[in-house]
Amino acid sequence: MTRGKFVVLEGGEGAGKSVQMGRIREILPHGVFTRDPGGVETGEDIRRMVLSKEARGIDAATEILLFLAARAQLIAELIAPALESGKLVVCDRFILSTIAYQAYGRKKLEYLPLVKSVFEAIHHGCVPDLTIFLEVSPEVGLARARARLEAPNRFDEEEVAFHERVREGYKKHLNDYGKSAVVNADNDIEQVWQDVREALQSAL
């Protein structure tokens, strides 16, 4: 059986990933849609832990290892089997988020080799065929994130400088794992969707 395609949406807070995931689901309803961390029971448990305000004091190394553990389970339990069965998988965040947020955002570049080596050990061939980076300026993204109805997560509350470092991390490593496309997410939703759809059509 032909292996399925693997698409990842990446971006900072307020980039509009959830909106674009919904649009993709409308045109590709037979795909498998998931998120990292999350997607499976263990991953969702870790997600609640690391995104909660109670986790503010968590050590940087612990945070990284929790994200890596969630990803390992997501790959083993959902992504790898879906791709092997020929399905399209679309994931909200993946390896680049850990590089951008935990290594660059947290100013822990010494952990980059750890992040990359663990990913090599756990990915089982599940490297994205396409990563769409929704690039949003931190000021615009944070304003959107803080205006959302749901309670902000602890990354929404980080200073602008943190999110500048996150964007730097994304841009430096965007081509480390498969093909990528950059979409200006400062634009309105319809323009962003048009650009996302064009990127998808070129890859699928």
Residue 134 lies in a domain: yes
Residue 86 labeled ligand binder: no
Residue 41 lies in a domain: yes
pLDDT in tens, 132-189: 999 999 999 888 888 876 767 888 888 999 999 999 999 999 999 999 999 999 999 9
Residue 61 lies in a domain: yes
Q: Domain with 36 in it: what CATH number?
A: 3.40.50.300
Residue 15 labeled ligand binder: yes
Residue 49 lies in a domain: yes
Residue 1 lies in a domain: no
| CB crowding 102-139: b at 16 or more within 10 Å, else e | bbbbbebeebbebbbebbeebbeebbbbbbbbbbbbbe
pLDDT in tens, 43-96: 999 999 998 888 788 999 999 999 999 999 999 999 999 999 999 999 999 999
Residue 118 lies in a domain: yes
**Helix runs in the chain, H state only:** 17-27, 41-51, 60-74, 80-84, 95-97, 112-122, 138-147, 160-173, 189-203
Residue 16 labeled ligand binder: yes
Residue 105 lies in a domain: yes
Using CA atoms of 82, 184, 149, 92 in order, give the dihedral in degrees to the nearest 10.
Answer: 10
pLDDT in tens, 1-37: 799 999 999 999 999 999 999 999 999 999 999 999 9
Considering its fold, how many domains does the chain have in total? 1
Instruction: Look up the domain containing 167 and give its range.
Output: 6-203
Name the pTM for this structure. 0.94
Residue 13 labeled ligand binder: yes
Angle, helix 60-74 to helix 41-51, in steps of 10 degrees: 160
